[in-house]
Amino acid sequence: MASLCRDCLTVKTGDFDRCPACGRLRVVSHPALLSLSIAHVDCDAFYAAVEKRDNPALRDKPLIVGGGTRGVVTTCCYMARLYGVRSAMPMFKALKLCPGAVVVPPDFRKYHEAGRAIRARMDALTPLVQPVSIDEAYLDLAGTERLHGVPPAASLARLALDVEAQVGVTVSVGLSANKFLAKTASELDKPRGFAVLAPEDAEAFLADQPVSFLHGVGPKFAESLNRDGFHTVADLQRADLKDLIRRYGETGEWLKKCAHGRDNRKVSPHDDRKSVSSETTFFEDTADLAVLEDHLWRLSVKTADRAKAEGVVGIVVTLKLKTADFKPVTRRLSLHAPTQLAQEVFRTARPLLAKEVTGRVRYRLIGVGLSGLSPHHADSVDLIDPKVAKRAAAERASDKARAKFGRNAVITGRAARMAKKDEG
C-alpha cells in the first residue's frame, strides 16, 4: 500500500489516515498508486469558480452563471447545486429552487485566460495532454518520474496545489490506467478531489452502480436501458455482446467495454479542438420553430463569443438537433468566407433549422458550431453578400460596448423581443 499527502506531497509506504510528515488529513492511499499514469483533470464548477475568484463578495453565496429569466443555467457553484440547481436548467426553475442565488452572465474571455494558464501547467508535466474542453483534459504521465523526480500521482497533486495557488480555482483529479476509468475517478471526490480507480478494481466497483453512472449515459438513455431490463452496470456486464449490439448498434459495444472498465483509447495531444460549438438540452421537448430559433440565436452568440475568445474563425457552420426519441440530426453548410460573428452563424444555421422543423417532430436538443478553424486576422469581405462587412462592424462595436458597459449594453431586435417575453 502506498500513500500520498496532497498537501506536503510526502509519499510513504503504508495506509495512513493522517500524513506522517505534516499531520494533515488529505491523504490518498492505494496499492497501485505509484504505478498508474493516466489522469483526468477537471476544474470544479469552473466558470463559477473564476467569478468567485474575481469577486470575493460572492465566495459564500450560491452563484449561477447564465442568462435571463427565460435563459438557462450555464453552470453553478456547489452551494447552488445543494438546492438542486443544475447546468442547462431553465433559469426560472433554478431561481425558484434557489431564490437567494446571485446570477452573473458568462465572461468567456476571462475563462479562456484561466484555462490557458492551467493548460500551460499541464504541458509542463507531460507532452501528452489531450484537452477535452476549456477546463478539463486527459494526461498521460508514463515515463515522467525520471524527469520530475516523483511518481505521476505526486506530480498531479503538485499540479492541483499550483493551480489553486496561482490561478485561483480548484481541480479534481482521477488517476487510473485508461481514459474511461480516469474520467470516472475524477467524478468520485469532487470538489478538490483526488481519486484512484485501478483496472483490477473496476468491475467490482462498477457492478452495483446504476447504468446512469456510466459517463455518457444520460437520463433518457438510462430510462431506455431500464425498460430493456438493464438497471445496474452488472446487468450490462452479464449481457451478451451481440444482443447489446443488436439493440443499440455501436453504442452497445461501447456499453459492454465501459461496464468492464476497458478503454484502449490513447491520450492524444493532436486531438485539439477542431470546432467551437454550444448546445442545450430542453427540459420539455418542442416542435415550435420560433422557440427553437430563439435558442439558436442564444447559441450562435455563445459560439461566436467562444470563437472570438480563442481568436479563431470557422468556414463550416453545423446545426445539431436531437429528436425526442434520440435520433441525431446534423446539417452542415460551408461559408463563402470564414467567420466568428454571431449574425453570420445564425443567418447560416436558421434556414437549415427551418427545413427540419415542420411541426411533426419534437426535439430535445439543439446546438450550433463552427469548424474548419483558422486564426482570425481580419473580417473577410464577401462579394456575394456585400452587407457582411457592415454587419461585422456593427457586431464588433456591440462587442466593445458589452465589454465596457455590460452584457445588455447593446442588444439586437431579436434579443429585445426575447427580453420583453422574459419580462412577461
Sheet holding 102-104, edge to edge: 73-76, 63-66, 102-104
- For residues 256, 257, 261 and 267, what is the CA-based torsion angle, rounded to 10 degrees? -150
Rounded Cα gap, residues 28 and 193, in angstroms: 10
Between the alpha carbon of residue 332 and those of residues 33, 169, 335, 385, the distances in Å are 46, 37, 10, 19
Across 25-42, b (16+ Cβ under 10 Å) vs e yields ebbbebebbbebbbbbbb
Instruction: Give the C-alpha separation, 291 to 284, whole Å.
Output: 12
Query: What is the spatial distance between Cα 178 and Cα 186, in angstroms, rounded to a whole number?
Result: 12
- Residue of 136, 293, 310, 344 marked active site: 136
Please report where in the chains the cell 480548484 appears, as a residue.
Answer: 170
Could you identify the residue written with the cell 429552487? 97
Active site residue 145: no
Residue 263 φ/ψ region, left for φ over 0, alpha for ψ in the -120 to 50 degree band, beta for the rest = beta
Q: Alpha-carbon distance 249 to 329, whole Å?
A: 17
Catalytic residue numbers, as ranges: 136
